[in-house]
């Protein structure tokens, strides 16, 4: 029996195996693994997270590099061994060149930790072949022997292992950018090669952490000063938003326990800001769990009035009250609704936020599993659910009230077409404002539309 994982590479390999076997989100699996590991350092915690998320994000690129290094086709290699090879290849491609010897040695040692000594020679040979496939220095443009790593930067390969971007631009983006073929083909109908490459590169970069300051308890200047005292760099952006330089273990940040901030991306925060509720109003947040947007609404309302936070998932709904307590917000009331609509709040509400379930195509970097879970038919299927939720939400709005429809998708079928269909069916509503957020400009992608009921 394999011992409990303790090192960063053992944790990453174990979590990747659980992710593939169960389909559960890697974040939760990582936290469970960390809690079971004795005295794990912050450095090992960070490395385990990078390796796990990196392999999930980059698996199509890793596979493109791995396949030519062996005589067997992938389907004839044990799944766990292939995953181990992906883990080693990720380190060789994307970690420091100075760590290549350690990457090979430590990855090969995982075969012994697994009790699979018969894999040792094969894994060592393949990873050394991958090492030889690396070129010298960097490349300046997309090419069959160049992997995009950061904006305008490419890793040089010793030989062309990817599709030629001139002959097969979509194939290059799918392999070098590690995205499903069908999704790249869909995006290619409206985006040029340079924009596809920019988006793919951003989706494969570890996301920075954004914090939304709680104005009832703190201000950006003081939070940035407290972070600086803890050797954490942060930059103030518009309004209540500050950006950390890289990622962080948020519960350990100074001010978190005191409710000085919440984690939220600027594009997500734009939804509550667009709705702009005022103190004393009666507000509905539909699909509210885990309550980040509900809290933002309550903060904008200066904790005066009422925010009904409705959701159909009881486990996630339970997360709302503790978050509200931490932030010192007393006007948020969690409400469980049935997916069939039973228990749906009746209103009337002065303002409604409907942040619908969506394809997540604007947040593929932050939710690395999403790109591989998503199927070609999903956006159209989700659009039907989104239309229903928008109609239900609108029925609760008082005459003259404000409604914001919001997604973290960049698909027209989930955004403009849903709103257009709704406005055609309900001419008493008018679209006042529309916001689109391109992935990486500067944060997550998404969409919001402000709709106002004209009344009778």
Query: What is the distance between the alpha carbons of residues 43 and 7, in angstroms, rounded to a whole number?
Result: 11
Compute the half-sphere exposure of residue 181: CA atoms within 13 Å on the CB side of its CA: 3
Distance CA 216, CA 231 (A): 25
Q: Could you tell me which residues are beta bridge partners of residue 241? A: 212
Half-sphere exposure of residue 362: CA atoms within 13 angstroms, side-chain side:
27
Rg of the chain on CA atoms, in Å:
24
Q: How far apart are CA 211 and CA 189, in angstroms?
A: 35
Round to whole Å and give the CA distance between 212 and 300: 12
Handedness of CA 320, 324, 330, 332 (dihedral sign): negative
Which residue, among 341, 272, 275, 282, has the nearest Cα to 312 in the 3D structure?
Answer: 341
Strands of the 134-139 sheet, one edge to the other:
134-139, 153-157, 146-150
Residue 137: enclosing H or E segment and its boundaries?
A: strand 134-139
Residues in Cβ contact with 74 at an 8 Å cutoff, skipping those fewer than 6 apart: 63, 66, 67, 82
User: In sequence order, which residues have a C-beta less than 8 Å from that of residue 201 and are 6 or more positions away?
Assistant: 148, 149, 150, 151, 177
Give Cβ neighbours of residue 406 (< 8 Å, ≥ 6 apart).
271, 353, 354, 355, 356, 446, 447, 448, 449
Rounded to a whole number of angstroms, the distance between the first and last alpha carbons of the chain is 70
Q: Specify the pairing of strand 282-286 against strand 349-355.
A: parallel
DSSP one-letter string for 240-256? TEEEESS---GGGSTTT
Catalytic residues: 408
């Amino acid at each position: 029996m394999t011992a409990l994982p303790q090192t960063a590479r053992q944790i990453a390999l174990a979590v990747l195996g659980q992710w593939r076997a169960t389909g559960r989100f890697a974040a939760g699996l990582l936290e469970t693994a960390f809690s079971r590991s004795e005295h794990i350092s912050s450095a090992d915690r960070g490395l385990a997270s990078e390796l796990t998320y990196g392999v999930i994000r980059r698996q199509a690129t890793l596979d493109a590099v791995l396949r030519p290094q062996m005589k067997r086709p992938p389907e004839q290699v044990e799944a766990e061994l292939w995953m181990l090879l992906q883990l080693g290849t990720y380190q060789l491609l994307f970690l420091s060149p100075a760590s290549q010897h350690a990457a090979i040695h430590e990855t090969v040692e995982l075969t012994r930790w697994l009790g699979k000594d018969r894999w040792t020679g094969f894994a060592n040979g393949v990873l050394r072949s991958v090492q030889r496939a690396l070129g010298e220095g960097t490349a300046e443009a997309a090419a069959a022997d160049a992997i995009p790593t950061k904006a305008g930067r490419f890793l040089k390969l010793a030989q062309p292992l990817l599709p030629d971007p001139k002959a097969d631009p979509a194939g290059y983006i799918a392999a070098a950018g590690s995205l499903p073929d069908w999704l790249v083909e869909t995006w290619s109908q409206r985006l040029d090669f340079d924009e596809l490459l920019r988006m793919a590169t951003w989706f494969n970069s570890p996301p920075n952490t954004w914090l939304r300051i709680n104005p009832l308890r703190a201000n950006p200047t003081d939070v940035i000063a407290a972070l600086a005292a803890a050797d954490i760099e942060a930059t103030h952006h518009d309004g209540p938003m500050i950006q950390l330089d890289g990622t962080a273990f948020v519960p350990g940040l100074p001010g978190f326990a005191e409710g000085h901030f919440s984690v939220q991306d600027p594009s997500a925060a734009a939804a509550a800001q667009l709705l702009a509720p005022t103190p004393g109003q009666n507000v509905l947040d539909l699909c509210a769990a885990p309550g980040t947007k509900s809290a933002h609404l309550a903060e904008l309302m200066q904790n005066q009035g009422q925010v009904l936070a409705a959701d159909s998932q009881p486990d996630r709904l339970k997360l709302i009250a503790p978050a509200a307590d931490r932030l010192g917000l007393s006007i948020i009331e969690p409400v469980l609704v049935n997916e069939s609509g039973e228990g749906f709040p009746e209103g009337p509400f002065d303002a409604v936020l409907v942040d619908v379930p969506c394809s997540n195509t604007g947040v593929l970097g932050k939710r690395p599993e999403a790109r591989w879970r998503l199927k070609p038919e999903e956006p159209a299927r989700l659009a039907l659910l989104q239309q229903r939720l928008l109609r239900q939400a609108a029925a609760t709005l008082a005459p003259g009230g404000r409604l914001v429809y919001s997604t973290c998708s960049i698909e027209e079928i989930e955004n403009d077409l849903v709103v257009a269909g709704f406005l055609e069916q309900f001419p008493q509503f008018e679209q006042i404002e529309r916001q689109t957020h391109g992935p990486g400009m500067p944060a997550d992608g998404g969409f919001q539309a402000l709709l106002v009921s004209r009344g009778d």
